[in-house]
């Protein structure tokens, strides 16, 4: 692009200087005549002398060619940069695994993405509206422009490598289609779907949703809990999003990690501020309020309570994902 601009500037400069010296015109008139010559507009010869006509003929032959080539190359480069940027973003999407696909960047989708950013979890936004895609891009999200109900769009978002899908479209019918397509493309996905209508929950569950969330019911339950048990609500909301926030966390016990084979009481001496809420065994058995004698086994999913700093430290100990709820 720099070379194209430089070539155009050189043609205009040479033409202007030439007409100024040959015809004795002012700088502006020389620039003006050069521009209408190389752009083939041609408002007349402006009373050119024989030498001026010869120079103008030279400008027509050489200047128009340079100007046309430079302008076309500028347009081509701009378009190529746009496609190169999209290819670069698609390349980034193609290289991430175990990510979350957020279908819809409305109010719910944005709230989900904000939380995923805080958790440093990889995710891809799928959005059909171009202006909303621009908003997501401004916020630093990986974005696929298209309808999430189409298999090709979900595949472009890497659904085969994803761990979960959030169906956050504004319409229940769209969420049903997205859920059906997602479940068909990846049988192991954890699919969370939004439901607004009273009859949509069962349809989404039949379509393959792992969890159906109604924003209105959730907000209503939150308000009721705040009214009835305000201190409990304050405790759960204390410093939310900060390092000293009160959080529920989830740990996956892997073979050879620091929890493998140790008891709750034993590890409690290492992390006295962590409270173990439940242990979900690999065989599906759930141990609620585990005693100090309970031992952790590979494949266990452990739910704990602590501050954000405690959970980050646990992640470093266990070398597993900690999901703040």
Spacing of C-alpha 98 from chain mean position: 14
| Tens of each residue's pLDDT in the chain, 325 residues | 788 888 888 888 888 898 888 888 888 888 888 888 887 777 666 678 888 888 888 887 788 788 888 888 888 777 776 677 778 888 889 999 999 999 999 999 999 999 899 888 999 999 999 899 989 988 989 999 999 999 999 999 999 999 999 999 988 999 999 999 999 999 999 999 999 877 788 899 988 999 998 887 777 877 887 788 777 666 666 545 455 556 777 888 888 888 888 888 888 887 777 888 899 988 888 888 888 888 988 888 888 887 777 777 777 767 544 444 3
The number of helices, as runs of H, and strands, as runs of E, in the chain is 13, 10
**pTM attached to this predicted model:** 0.63
Nearest to 325 by CA among 137, 171, 192, 141: 192
Residue 133: C-alpha distances to residues 68, 124, 197, 307 (Å): 34, 11, 26, 35
- The DSSP bridge pattern shows strands 190-194 and 164-167 to be parallel
Q: Which residues contact 270 (CB under 8 A, 6 or more apart)?
A: 258, 317
CB burial of 66-89 (b: ≥16 within 10 Å; e: otherwise) equals bbeebeeebeeeeeeeeeeeeeeb
Nearest residue to 48 via CA among 61, 34, 62: 34
Buried b / exposed e along 156-175 (16+ C-beta atoms within 10 A)? bbbbeebbbbbbbbeebebb
pLDDT score at 321: 42
Enumerate the β-bridge partners of residue 276: 304
Task: Of 308, 274, 246, 304, give the one whose Cα is nearest residue 118.
Answer: 308
What is the rounded CA–CA span in Å between residue 261 and residue 149? 45
145 within 8 A of 128, measured Cβ to Cβ: yes
pLDDT of residue 233: 67
What confidence score (pLDDT) does residue 239 get?
47
Collapsing DSSP to helix, strand or coil, 287 comes out as strand
Tell me what pLDDT residue 313 has.
77
Q: What is residue 99's predicted lDDT score, i.e. its pLDDT?
A: 95
**Strands 301-307 and 246-252, bridge-based pairing:** antiparallel
64 in Cβ contact with 11 (< 8 Å):
no
């Amino acid at each position: 692009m720099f070379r194209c601009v430089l070539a155009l500037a050189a043609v205009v400069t040479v033409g202007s200087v030439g007409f100024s010296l040959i015809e004795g015109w002012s700088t502006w008139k020389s620039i003006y005549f050069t521009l209408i010559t190389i752009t083939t507009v041609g408002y007349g010869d402006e009373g050119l002398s024989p030498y001026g006509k010869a120079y103008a003929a030279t400008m027509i032959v050489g200047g128009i060619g340079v100007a046309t080539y430079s302008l076309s190359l500028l347009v081509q480069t701009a378009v190529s940069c746009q496609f190169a940027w999209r290819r670069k973003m698609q390349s980034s999407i193609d290289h991430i695994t175990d990510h979350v696909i957020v279908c819809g960047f409305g109010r719910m989708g944005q709230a989900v993405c904000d939380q995923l950013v805080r958790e440093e979890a990889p995710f891809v936004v799928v959005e059909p509206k171009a202006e909303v895609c621009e908003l997501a891009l401004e916020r630093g999200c990986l974005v696929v422009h298209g309808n999430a109900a189409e298999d090709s769009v979900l595949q472009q978002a890497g659904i085969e490598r994803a761990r979960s899908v959030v169906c956050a479209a504004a319409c229940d019918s769209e969420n049903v289609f997205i859920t059906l397509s997602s479940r068909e493309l990846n049988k192991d996905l954890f699919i969370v779907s939004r439901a607004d209508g009273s009859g949509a929950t069962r349809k989404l569950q039949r379509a393959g949703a792992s969890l159906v969330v109604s924003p209105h019911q959730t907000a209503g339950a939150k308000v009721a809990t705040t009214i009835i048990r305000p201190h409990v609500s304050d405790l759960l909301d204390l410093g939310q999003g900060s390092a000293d926030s009160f959080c529920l966390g989830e740990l996956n016990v892997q073979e050879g990690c620091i929890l493998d084979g140790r008891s709750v009481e034993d590890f409690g001496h290492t992390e006295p501020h962590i409270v173990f809420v439940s242990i979900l065994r690999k065989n599906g058995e759930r141990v609620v309020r585990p005693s100090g004698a309970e031992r952790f086994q590979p494949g266990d999913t452990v739910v704990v309570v602590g501050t954000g700093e405690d959970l980050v430290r646990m992640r470093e100990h266990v070398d597993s994902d900690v999901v703040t709820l």
